[in-house]
């Protein structure tokens, strides 16, 4: 964990406040911490923490986001709201962690892990799944990283557009801060493989048309009411992929009550095999010693 943090720190040095300011469309109270999360597709969601959280991950959790540590590097935040769905969260894209002193201030890359950093009330916490870009800034994933596939990606959303209820309960709604253009361009090729496989060709074509129409509408609206238009874009086009990824990912997360998945056996099979092989090895050792 420490090594990972150091690597992140080294990467961070040139990244301090490179574009993007803490645009939080939701205003939290002075005692709360604003948490801005930008998913892979560019969709930005803002939440307010419940009171003054002790650590960055507490702020994330109490603002209504769920997260998972990387199983191999505990303490390294791997997924937020089950994004990315494929669990590849280290190279080259990862959840970068940012601070801003107040809404509208410039982002600063965190020099400390979210598990130990104590955000001050009234400040803004930023999370962005990218190659180290700040929330709202242009993507930094460029050279020699896997090229995004050129297919237009919007899919018909299987559920109603997710204005996350958890965030709504804390007195905020889903908003997009970065405007329409980054979220629409950055979207191509961001869908997880599962999501791609699920969508049918016809649905794709339909979705493409509707999404285009929505995007143009949103752009037209943006001239009059920027904040509202951005919200439309993020709610209609981008997070729908996220929900697909969510659906795929949440199925694969093991739960105690869930029956065993295909290709796996429950743990007591392993215990039996352990006793069998270990017992034989022990018996052979004892016999050989005589």
Partner 1 sequence: MTRDLHPVAWWGWAIGVALAASLTTNPLLLGLLFCSVWLVVANRRGSSPWARAFRLYVILGAVVIVSRLVFYVLVGFKFGVHLVLRLPSIPLPDWAAGIQLGGDVFLEGLLAAACLGLRLAVLIIAIGAANALANPKRLLRSLPRALHELGTAVVVSVSVAPQLAESVQRVMRARHLRGEAGRGLRVVPRVALPVLQDTLDRSLLLASAMEARGYGSHTDRHRAAWLPAVTLGGLVAVSLGMYGVLDPTRSPLWMGIPVMSVGVSMCAAGIWLSGRAVLVTTYRPDPWRLAETLTVLCGIGCAAGMLWARGTDPLSMDLQTQPLTAPLLPVTALVGIVLAALPAVITPPPVRPYRGPQ
* Contact call for residue 224 and partner 1 (CB under 8 A): no
Instruction: Count how many Cα atoms sit within 13 Å of the Cα of residue 201 in the half-sphere of its side chain.
Output: 0
Q: Which stretch binds partner 1 (CB under 8 A): 21-29, 179-187, 229-237, 261-269?
A: 261-269
| Binding residue for partner 1, selected from 3, 13, 14, 144, defined by CB under 8 A | 144
In the list 101, 145, 149, 169, the residue contacting partner 1 (rule: CB under 8 A) is: 145
Q: Which is nearer to partner 1, 30 or 268 (CB)?
A: 268
* Residue 160 or 266 having the CB closest to partner 1: 266
- State the residue for tokens 């150091």: 6
Cβ-based neighbours of 71, under 8 Å, separated by 6 or more: 78
Find, among 86, 26, 99, the residue nearest to 245 by Cα. 86
Cα distance between residue 261 and residue 284, in whole Å: 35
Q: Closest CB to partner 1 among 160 and 259?
A: 259
Counted residue by residue, the chain has a size of: 290
How far is it, in rounded angstroms, from Cα 251 to Cα 257?
A: 13
Contact pattern for partner 1 over residues 58 through 97, marking x by CB under 8 A: ----------xx-xx-xx-----------x---xx-----
Give the separation between CA 97 and CA 75, rounded to whole angstroms: 13
DSSP string, 209-223: HHHHHHHHHHHHHHT
**290 touches partner 1 by CB under 8 A:** no
Among 202, 224, 288, 290, binds partner 1 (CB under 8 A): 288
Q: How far apart are CA 244 and CA 103, in angstroms?
A: 31
Which region among 1-9, 14-22, 101-109, 189-197 touches partner 1 (by CB under 8 A)?
A: 1-9
Which CB sits closer to partner 1, 52 or 86?
Answer: 86
Q: How far apart are CA 22 and CA 134, in angstroms?
A: 9
- Name the residues that contact partner 1, by CB under 8 A: 1-2, 5, 68-69, 71-72, 74-75, 87, 91-92, 111-113, 115-117, 131, 143-145, 252-256, 260-261, 263-267, 269-271, 273-274, 277-278, 280-282, 284-285, 288
């Amino acid at each position: 964990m420490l090594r990972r943090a150091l690597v992140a720190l080294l990467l961070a040095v040139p990244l301090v406040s490179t574009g993007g300011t803490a645009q939080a469309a939701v205003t939290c109270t002075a005692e709360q911490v604003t948490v801005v999360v930008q998913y892979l597709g560019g969709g930005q969601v803002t939440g307010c923490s419940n009171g003054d959280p002790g650590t960055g991950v507490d702020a994330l959790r109490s603002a209504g986001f769920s997260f998972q540590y990387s199983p191999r590097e505990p303490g390294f935040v791997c997924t937020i709201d089950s994004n990315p769905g494929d669990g590849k969260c280290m190279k080259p894209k990862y959840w970068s962690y940012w601070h801003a002193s107040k809404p509208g201030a410039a982002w600063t890359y965190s020099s400390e892990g979210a598990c130990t950093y104590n955000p001050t009330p009234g400040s803004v916490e930023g999370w962005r799944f990218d190659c180290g870009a700040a929330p709202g800034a242009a993507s930094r994933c460029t050279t020699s990283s896997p090229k995004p596939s050129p297919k237009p990606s919007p899919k018909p959303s299987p559920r109603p557009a997710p204005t996350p209820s958890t965030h709504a309960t804390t007195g905020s709604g889903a908003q997009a801060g970065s405007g329409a253009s980054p979220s629409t361009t950055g979207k191509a090729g961001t869908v997880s493989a599962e999501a791609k496989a699920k969508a049918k060709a016809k649905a794709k074509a339909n979705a493409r048309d509707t999404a285009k129409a929505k995007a143009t509408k949103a752009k037209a609206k943006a001239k009059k009411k920027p904040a509202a238009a951005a919200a439309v874009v993020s709610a209609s086009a981008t997070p729908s992929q996220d929900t697909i990824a969510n659906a795929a990912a949440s199925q694969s997360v093991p739960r105690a009550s869930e029956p065993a998945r295909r290709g796996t056996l429950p743990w007591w099979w392993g215990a039996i095999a352990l006793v069998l092989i270990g017992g034989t090895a022990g018996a052979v050792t004892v016999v050989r010693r005589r």
